[in-house]
């Protein structure tokens, strides 16, 4: 019997799936060993990074967190903004929001609506809006975060509109700024205040 392309694909997916699951089990065991090693030796992470070319201390810490069951293994190979934000939460919340997409509050014109987006599809700003260090924000909490974020951005943009800034009696002129004689006179008057 000849295998079809679909049969080959299914078989290949099965092999890949098994290898990944076996790899995750190995990562968990490596994480447990790293956690034990770090408990026993303050320089363990540094020694491990030296022994494994390309291994960063951040990666060692991620394995340690897996070994201590502080992050679920499914997050170990994800690097999306939502996944990175989710790693700050406990394992129960990590599992919850990997299984069910969190609610995201968005504004369409003057109306507010919600979407459910998988963690890996959240942008950096959306991930910060949805998750704080304790869990997912409520919709009211997200709206407050959005309003606060907008106010900060607006304040920052108005600060940037000034062609110069006076700091401790000194003038800091922004690049590509042209000042007239009147502008300079006003500037000198402000400095003498």
CA quadruple 78, 84, 89, 91: dihedral, nearest 10: 10
pLDDT band of 96, cuts 50, 70, 90: very high
pLDDT at site 73 = 87
What average pLDDT does the chain have?
A: 87
Distance CA 158, CA 89 (A): 35
**pLDDT above 90 as % of the chain:** 60
pLDDT at site 132 = 93
pLDDT band of 86, cuts 50, 70, 90: very high
Q: Which of 41-45, 56-60, 153-157 tops mean pLDDT? A: 41-45
pLDDT at site 30 = 94
pLDDT band of 157, cuts 50, 70, 90: low
Which residues pair with residue 104 across a beta bridge? 115
**Ranges of each domain in the chain:** 1-70, 78-161, 163-192
List, in order, residues 6 or more apart from 69 with CB less than 8 Å away.
Answer: 91
**153 has pLDDT over 70:** yes
pLDDT at site 182 = 83
Give me the mean pLDDT over the 68-76 stretch: 89
Task: Give the pLDDT confidence of 123-145 residue by residue, as tens digits.
Answer: 999 999 999 989 999 999 999 99
């Amino acid at each position: 019997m000849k295998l079809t392309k679909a049969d080959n694909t299914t078989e290949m997916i099965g092999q890949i799936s098994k290898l990944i699951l076996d790899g995750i089990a190995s990562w968990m065991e490596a994480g447990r060993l790293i956690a034990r090693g770090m408990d026993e030796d303050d320089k363990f992470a540094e020694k491990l990074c030296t022994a494994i070319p390309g291994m960063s201390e951040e990666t060692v810490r991620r394995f340690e967190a897996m070994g201590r069951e502080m992050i679920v293994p499914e997050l170990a190979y994800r690097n999306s903004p939502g996944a990175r934000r989710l790693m700050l939460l406990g394992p129960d919340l990590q599992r919850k929001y990997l299984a069910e997409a969190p609610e995201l509050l968005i504004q369409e014109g003057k109306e507010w609506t919600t979407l459910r987006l998988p963690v890996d599809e959240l942008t950096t700003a959306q991930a910060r809006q949805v998750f704080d260090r304790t869990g997912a924000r409520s919709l009211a909490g997200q709206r407050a975060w959005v309003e606060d974020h907008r106010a900060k951005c607006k304040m920052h943009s108005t600060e940037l509109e000034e062609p110069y800034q006076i700091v401790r009696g000194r003038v800091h002129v922004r690049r590509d700024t042209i000042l007239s004689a009147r502008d300079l006179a006003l500037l000198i008057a402000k400095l003498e205040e």
